[in-house]
Structure 1
């Protein structure tokens, strides 16, 4: 299996960021001042505290941990999905790091594998993204239910795929197929189900955003249609 040249991976990531924007952005430029911190070495706790401060949920810290985790999951799934489906390259995410004080990510010295050469694309994409999430979760000091975290990953996956589908409807078959396959891999299995052609999704857990004073229920929440206190 041939490795993709670093500059080609960087070009592919830059292209999806420029075309798709937002959570599809993954910076590949070297840090100008201090190097970033790898995801496995803290960082999520700081972002969780910032979320709790913003939504006034410090008395229930798992809310901030869950919402920060959901945002991180979207930041990981989006560029990998887009790069794999648009450019046929699966970026290697083991060196991904926080970029600055916000939630943006950087991938210095990007590497990748060619999607057509992989024996199972879904397994490769899952390994690069969800395994990184699990590494970060292992350091959480706030107790959050494992199935909630798995549901966050699934929700971020399908949300990223749905956004990609809206921008690239010509890739509907490929996007839908890969998303459905991913939902049957590892801990994503049983986290929810696709309910519509536009990749509408209903998860089987809740990210807890509804418990914030100014929060509400997300579109894919298992609590939609039910009353909550």
Structure 2
């Protein structure tokens, strides 16, 4: 099954599956490729996003905001890639040099793709696109700027993938599309065989129980995420290990 990727139809799966429609072929937002570079200026887009999240959540620990910011971007990338794969049999080529990001906006107004390229819809190409070209350099950039652990960020990557697959499954059930749900299950299972994701959690159907903590419980009034490794929020009087 291969079809033209209809961005409007892709966006019907939910906000995380949509791209910003600017109506133009050019955009003055920074590309994610530029954002990931280690020589970014002090007031770079990543720092702006982390500070924005920190203010919104009222958290004094930068690494909590880092975790939330990275988790949100990971969810966008997995959703766009997995969603296009299961709906159309092709994957949007989210080339970091062509994917523009607005650090001041949330989904779906945060990403704009200045290209129309497509990739084969198999797990190897999706892993190369999302993990190698996006999440690995994003993790490196964040770890160079903030005190945050690699296991936490990898756990967020696994959680975001499981969340994207779960949303697709819910949409497929509402739309009467068991074929879409089946393709999502197969691709997600294959993606979680990647060593970078395999140890991030345990999957049972569409449920996911991660082995690390995203630190959301450290926000004021914050509880546990649905896939948290904890049974109840830990008591904390000092910052915990970054991996949770």
SS in 1 for 2:202: strand
Q: Give me the TM-score of the superposition, normalised by structure 2.
A: 0.80
Map 1:1-229; keep pairs closer than 5 Å: 8-9=4-5, 12-17=6-11, 19-27=12-20, 29=22, 35-42=28-35, 43-58=45-60, 60-94=61-95, 95-99=98-102, 101-103=104-106, 104-115=110-121, 121-131=122-132, 132-140=134-142, 141-169=145-173, 170=178, 171-195=180-204, 197=205, 199-225=206-232, 227-229=234-236
- Give the alignment's Cα RMSD to 1 decimal: 2.2
- 1:172, distance to aligned residue in structure 2 (A): 2.6
SS in 2 for 1:168: helix
- Structure 2 Cα separation of the partners of residues 25 and 193 of structure 1: 28
1:163-186 CA-to-partner distances (Å, cap 9, x unmatched) read 110011312322112111111114
- Structure 2 Cα separation of the partners of residues 220 and 213 of structure 1: 19
- 1:28, distance to aligned residue in structure 2 (A): 5.7
CA contact 1:157–1:179 (8 Å) conserved in 2: yes
- 1:83, distance to aligned residue in structure 2 (A): 0.4
- Structure 2 Cα separation of the partners of residues 91 and 80 of structure 1: 6
CA contact 2:31–2:100 (8 Å) conserved in 1: yes
Gaps of 5+ in 1: 116-120
1:5-28 CA-to-partner distances (Å, cap 9, x unmatched) read 9xx44xx233211x2121111236
CA contact 1:84–1:90 (8 Å) conserved in 2: yes
- Structure 2 Cα separation of the partners of residues 127 and 167 of structure 1: 26
- 1:227, distance to aligned residue in structure 2 (A): 4.0
SS in 1 for 2:19: coil
CA contact 1:29–1:108 (8 Å) conserved in 2: no
Q: Which sits farther off after the overlay, 68-77 or 98-107?
A: 98-107
- 1:226, distance to aligned residue in structure 2 (A): 6.1
Post-superposition, which runs of at least 4 consecutive aligned residues in structure 1 deviate over 4 A?
28-34
- Structure 2 Cα separation of the partners of residues 123 and 208 of structure 1: 30
Q: Give me the TM-score of the superposition, normalised by structure 1.
A: 0.85
